[in-house]
């Protein structure tokens, strides 16, 4: 080749097109390297995929600059992402971009890590013996407390100090003045710092499960850890993680978004040491980049993160843990619609390391895979220590009338729990005051003009709010049609809180829903109040169901169990059962015997019956048979094309064309196991002024589905639908709305 002629590179660009773009450069660029490229009139960040011998295009633009010396993905992660792009039929440029730290989506070179501030004692010099210190601290209890926290060779960061001692800053000032402690700037704490809590002796069940995982460190193996709530799954993960770290390898620990609380981080740090870094949406781009950098350079022993942490570069990965693997939040619901659990399994196989999927209520997909021997099933059947599973009692709302959402036996039960100074969780999967506001006289209803949905009444701001598009309007007391006083039907968190507050005026309440805890910080503050037992009654949505370990809660009341029983979504019973068992699992986790009360109008429903027995196994076995008989996932494979537009017909046309093309492909390629349904309006027909439709494709064989989706997605992309139409493809959709 001519020495002066530049090399052609194929570059992935973050645009919604399923192809690569050719650029030239005189630089020697490696796959996975970020480059600055001209694209249209802009300059954007692309990722080099490969060299090309030639290009079909005559005029090729050249790479402006290489942004870093090194790549941003390892070979395994690149393989994972290219696989994901094919599996989800999503444009590779968008996939790679979604998998990078947000900071690196900007055209800047990879920054170095930030040093952090730490505090430690000044080691006692000669002439300042210990009794000098105690003299200096005699009348300063706050300073003494901090000094004790920094005992021996402890080097603590502000975050840790905040957790251990919220008022430490003033004390630190005093101690620095007295020359007893110092600030120092470092990349990270020295030593592992794993102080280790008083070590718990694992139960036999826990030890057995941990040993099986430990035995397989060093190769790909996938485990399901099915352990009832409070059986100590976390302890099992940590035992295996500890061994992995001892072997010099790193742990990737995924948790659902709202379980990643400071309590969890400090619990994991206590076991695994201070070099555990976290990554979640409550952190700034810079903070997340810092964690990424520490993992990439092997300075993090473990990375504790939510969904997108599955893409994090680990210098030396050794184990992946996915806690609450059934959780819906692992599925990305827009853009690149991946499932982090499924990608974690793929990643483990590419990295040749074991993966543990833990849950009290594993997803049907995972159970199905365990039945097919693709996962090894590990079980924890008992709660740790004296704690027993709570007794679940059904309250028939046909027998006991509801008073503002709550019936008498529930009120009585709360009363006796409060008398014992224990805590209560009241669970209702609906925020706001009342979900339905209507006129009894003429039938008028408060509905959103932009969505096919009712408006929810929010009492604090005296507003009607749409929970789908965010629309708000002023509340009116009288029917706009006939002037009759409006009627509130149903109850949300606000109404339940109001009802109970009027019955228990002395109790301390906390409402935990997306209105109240609208930032991560506020959520953490509230969880902290619960932990410290500064509230008695917690009224909340799913926010309180996940993983939390509240020792003071002995009663859980479920306001309404019936929502999941009659939904159009085939997954609704599975989700309902998982949520109710999860929330029930919050009761009686410490010594006491917990109790759960479930209000339902359908006490004879077989699902409800299985729930009272805590019998997830019988429930999942029965449901899996039903799914098999009706050819639903995990026995068949779904893909959903969605289209939306302010113009119903434009969206419908696109999906009709898509269906026609799909049927042609199926015939041509003889994909006998694939079915194309007719396009239909989505269950949520209209959202924010846009009509929504969907087209379901089902296959009995996964391979045939992909044989269709590849060319089909390209042809939809090429269709040049009107600009108003947005479309997307969702492979293995979790939400059929
Ligand atoms: P799960 O995640 O299975 O619901 P956790 O791991 O949160 O359960 O454990 C529940 C509680 O039991 C925690 O407070 C934990 O500290 C405690 N625990 C777990 N294992 C043991 C053990 N072997 N001995 C004593 N306490 C334990
Ligand atoms: Zn009216
Ligand atoms: Zn709306």
pLDDT tens per residue, range 603-642 = 999 889 899 999 999 999 999 999 999 999 999 999 999 9
Token pair in block for residue 474: 């002023």
Tens-place pLDDT, residues 42-53 = 999 999 999 999
* pLDDT above 60 (res 82): yes
Tens-place pLDDT, residues 696-729 = 999 999 999 999 999 999 999 998 889 999 999 9
Please tell me the distance between residue 465's alpha carbon and the centre of ligand 3 in angstroms: 8
pLDDT band, very low/low/confident/very high, at 312 (cuts 50, 70, 90): very high
pLDDT of residue 197: 57
pLDDT of residue 130: 61
Q: Which residue from 232, 378, 379, 545 has its CB within 8 A of the most atoms of ligand 1, so it is best to mutate?
A: 232
Tens-place pLDDT, residues 194-244 = 555 567 899 999 999 999 999 999 999 999 999 998 899 999 999 999 999
End-to-end CA distance of the chain: 55
Q: Output the pTM of the full model.
A: 0.92
Q: Residue 526: phi, psi to the nearest 5?
A: -70, -40
Nearest ligand to the CA of 467 is 3
Q: Give the ligand 1 atom nearest the CA of 206.
A: 23
Nearest ligand to the CA of 443 is 2
pLDDT of residue 190: 64
pLDDT band, very low/low/confident/very high, at 58 (cuts 50, 70, 90): confident
Token pair in block for residue 390: 């709570």
Nearest one of 442, 441, 469, 443 to 455, comparing CA atoms: 469
Please tell me the distance between residue 512's alpha carbon and the centre of ligand 3 in angstroms: 23
Annotate 230-290 with DSSP letters as a single string. TS-HHHHHHHHHHHHHHTT-EEEEE--GGG--HHHHHHHHHHH-TTEEEE-TTS-HHHHHH
CA dihedral 710, 716, 720, 722 (to 10 degrees): -150
Please tell me the distance between residue 547's alpha carbon and the centre of ligand 1 in angstroms: 11
Residues 6+ apart with CB under 8 A from 508: 534, 535, 536, 537
For helices 408-419 and 493-503, give the axis angle rounded to 10 degrees.
60
Token pair in block for residue 144: 């003494």
**Helix residue ranges per DSSP H, 676-726:** 702-717
Please tell me the distance between residue 463's alpha carbon and the centre of ligand 3 in angstroms: 13
Nearest one of 632, 697, 626, 622 to 659, comparing CA atoms: 697
Cα angle, residue 33 at apex, residues 32 and 35 outer, rounded to 5°: 130
Q: Is the peptide bond before 377 cis (omega within 30 degrees of 0)?
A: no
CA 456/CA 126 separation, integer angstroms: 70
Q: What percent of the chain has pLDDT over 90?
A: 74
- What are the contacts of 15-21 at 24+ separation with CB within 8 A? 15/39, 15/91, 15/93, 15/94, 16/91, 16/94, 16/717, 17/91, 17/93, 17/717, 18/89, 18/91, 18/92, 18/713, 18/714, 18/717, 19/91, 20/49, 20/92, 20/93, 21/46
CA 188/CA 180 separation, integer angstroms: 21
Residue 119 near residue 155 (C-beta atoms within 8 A): yes
Residue with tokens 């630089």: 27
- For all residues of the chain together, what is the average pLDDT? 92
Token pair in block for residue 267: 């619990």
Q: Is 31 exposed, middle or buried (0-12, 13-18, 19+ CB in 10 A)?
A: middle
Tens-place pLDDT, residues 449-490 = 999 999 999 998 899 999 999 999 999 999 999 999 999 999
Q: Give the ligand 1 atom nearest the CA of 380.
A: 3
Residues 295-316 have a mean pLDDT of 97
Residue 591 near residue 579 (C-beta atoms within 8 A): no
pLDDT band, very low/low/confident/very high, at 188 (cuts 50, 70, 90): confident
Sign for the pseudo-dihedral over CA of 728, 730, 735, 737: positive
Nearest one of 513, 583, 560, 530 to 422, comparing CA atoms: 530
Q: Is 562 exposed, middle or buried (0-12, 13-18, 19+ CB in 10 A)?
A: middle
Please tell me the distance between residue 284's alpha carbon and the centre of ligand 3 in angstroms: 30
- Paired with 121 in beta bridges are 181
pLDDT band, very low/low/confident/very high, at 520 (cuts 50, 70, 90): confident
Q: Give the ligand 1 atom nearest the CA of 549.
A: 7
CA 466/CA 463 separation, integer angstroms: 10
- Helix, strand, coil share (%) of the chain residues, nearest 5: 35, 25, 40
Strongest mean pLDDT among 269-278, 610-619, 649-658: 649-658
Residue 424 near residue 416 (C-beta atoms within 8 A): no
Residues 6+ apart with CB under 8 A from 289: 101, 102, 103, 104, 111
For helices 616-629 and 364-371, give the axis angle rounded to 10 degrees.
80
Q: Which residue from 198, 206, 208, 234 has its CB within 8 A of the most atoms of ligand 1, so it is best to mutate?
A: 234
Please tell me the distance between residue 489's alpha carbon and the centre of ligand 2 in angstroms: 15
Q: Give the ligand 1 atom nearest the CA of 234.
A: 6
Residues with a CB atom less than 6 Å from ligand 1: 200-203, 206, 227, 229-235, 384-385, 549, 589
Strongest mean pLDDT among 186-190, 354-358, 606-610: 354-358
CA 549/CA 713 separation, integer angstroms: 45
pLDDT of residue 505: 97
Token pair in block for residue 36: 């600055």
Region of 193 on the Ramachandran plot (φ > 0 left; ψ -120 to 50 alpha; else beta): left
Residues 173-181 have a mean pLDDT of 89
Residue 245 near residue 251 (C-beta atoms within 8 A): yes
CA 244/CA 250 separation, integer angstroms: 7
Q: Is 320 exposed, middle or buried (0-12, 13-18, 19+ CB in 10 A)?
A: buried
* pLDDT above 80 (res 125): no
DSSP 330: G
Neighbours of ion ligand 2 (CB under 5 A): 439, 441-442, 444, 479, 481-482, 484
Cα angle, residue 49 at apex, residues 45 and 55 outer, rounded to 5°: 100
CA 148/CA 382 separation, integer angstroms: 38
Annotate 603-650 with DSSP letters as a single string. TT-HHHHHHHTT-HHHHHHHHHHHHHHTT-TTSSEEEEEEEEESSHHH
Higher-confidence position of 589 and 411: 411
Residues 90-114 have a mean pLDDT of 95
Closest C-alpha residue for ligand 1 atom 24: 200
User: Half-sphere exposure of residue 411, counting CA atoms within 13 Å on the CB side?
Assistant: 18
Residues 300-314 have a mean pLDDT of 97
Residues 6+ apart with CB under 8 A from 307: 254, 257, 329, 330, 332, 340
């Amino acid at each position: 080749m001519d020495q002066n002629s530049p090399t052609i590179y194929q570059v992935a660009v973050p645009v919604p097109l399923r192809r690569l773009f050719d650029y030239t450069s005189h630089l020697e660029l490696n796959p996975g390297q970020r480059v600055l490229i001209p694209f249209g009139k802009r300059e954007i960040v692309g990722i080099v995929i490969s060299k090309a011998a030639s290009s079909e295009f005559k005029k090729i633009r050249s790479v402006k600059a290489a942004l870093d010396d090194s790549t941003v993905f390892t070979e395994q992660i690149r393989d994972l992402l290219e696989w994901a792009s094919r599996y989800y039929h999503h444009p590779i440029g968008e996939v790679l971009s979604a998998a990078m730290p947000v900071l690196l989506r900007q055209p800047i070179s990879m920054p170095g890590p930030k040093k952090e501030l730490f505090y430690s004692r000044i080691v006692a010099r000669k002439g300042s013996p210990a009794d000098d210190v105690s003299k200096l601290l005699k009348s300063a209890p706050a300073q003494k407390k901090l000094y004790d926290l920094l005992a021996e060779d402890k080097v603590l960061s502000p975050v840790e100090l905040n957790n251990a001692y919220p008022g430490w800053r003033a004390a630190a000032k005093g101690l620095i003045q007295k020359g007893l402690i110092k600030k120092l700037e470092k990349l990270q704490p020295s030593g592992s710092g794993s102080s280790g809590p008083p070590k718990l002796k694992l139960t036999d069940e826990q030890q057995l499960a941990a040993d099986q995982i430990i035995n397989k460190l060093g190769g790909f193996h996938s485990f399901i850890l099915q352990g009832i709530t409070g059986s100590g799954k976390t302890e099992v993960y940590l035992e295996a993680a500890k061994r992995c770290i001892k072997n010099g390898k790193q742990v990737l620990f995924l948790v659902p978004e709202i379980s990643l609380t400071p309590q969890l981080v400090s619990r994991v740090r206590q076991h695994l040491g201070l070099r555990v870094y976290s990554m979640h949406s409550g952190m700034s781009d810079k903070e997340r980049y810092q964690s990424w950098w520490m993992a990439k350079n092997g300075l993090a022993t473990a990375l504790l993160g939510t969904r997108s942490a599955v893409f994090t570069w680990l210098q030396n990965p050794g184990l992946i843990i996915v806690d609450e693997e059934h959780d819906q939040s692992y599925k990305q619901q827009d853009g690149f619609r991946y499932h982090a659990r499924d990608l974690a399994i793929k990643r483990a196989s590419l990295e040749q390391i074991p993966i543990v999927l833990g849950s009290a209520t594993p997803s049907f997909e995972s159970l199905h895979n365990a039945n097919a021997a693709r996962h090894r099933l590990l079980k924890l059947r008992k709660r740790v220590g004296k704690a027993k599973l709570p007794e679940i009692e059904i309250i028939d709302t046909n027998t006991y009338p509801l008073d503002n959402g709550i019936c008498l036996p529930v009120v009585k039960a709360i009363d006796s729990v409060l008398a014992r100074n224990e805590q209560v969780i009241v669970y209702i999967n609906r925020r706001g005051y009342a979900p339905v506001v209507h006129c009894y006289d003429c039938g008028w209803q408060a509905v959103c003009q932009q969505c096919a949905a009712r408006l929810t009444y929010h009492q604090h701001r005296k507003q009607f709010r749409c929970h789908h598009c965010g629309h708000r309007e002023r509340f009116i007391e009288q029917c706009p049609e006939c002037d009759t006083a409006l009627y509130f039907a149903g109850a949300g968190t606000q109404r339940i809180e109001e009802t109970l507050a009027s019955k228990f005026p002395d109790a301390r309440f906390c409402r935990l829903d997306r209105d109240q805890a609208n930032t991560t910080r506020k959520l953490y503050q509230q969880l902290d109040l619960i932990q410290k037992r500064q509230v008695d009654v917690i009224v909340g949505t799913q926010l309180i169901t996940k993983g939390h370990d509240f020792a003071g809660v002995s009663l859980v009341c479920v306001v309404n169990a019936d929502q999941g029983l009659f939904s159009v979504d085939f997954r609704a019973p599975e989700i309902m059962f998982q949520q109710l068992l999860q929330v029930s699992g919050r009761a009686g986790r410490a010594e006491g015997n917990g109790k759960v009360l479930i209000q339902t109008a359908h006490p004879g429903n077989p699902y409800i019956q299985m729930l009272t027995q805590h019998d997830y196994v019988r429930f999942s076995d029965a449901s899996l048979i039903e799914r098999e008989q009706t050819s639903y996932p995990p026995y068949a494979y779904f893909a959903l094309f969605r289209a939306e537009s302010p113009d119903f017909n434009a969206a419908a046309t696109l999906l009709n064309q898509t269906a026609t093309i799909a049927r042609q492909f199926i015939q041509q390629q003889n994909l006998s196991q694939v079915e194309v349904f007719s396009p239909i309006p989505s269950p949520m027909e209209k959202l924010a002024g846009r009509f929504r439709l969907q087209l379901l494709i089902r296959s009995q064989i996964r391979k045939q589905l992909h044989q269709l989706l590849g060319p089909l997605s390209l042809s939809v992309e090429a269709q040049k639908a009107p600009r108003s139409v947005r479309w997307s493809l969702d492979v293995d959709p979790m939400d059929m709305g």
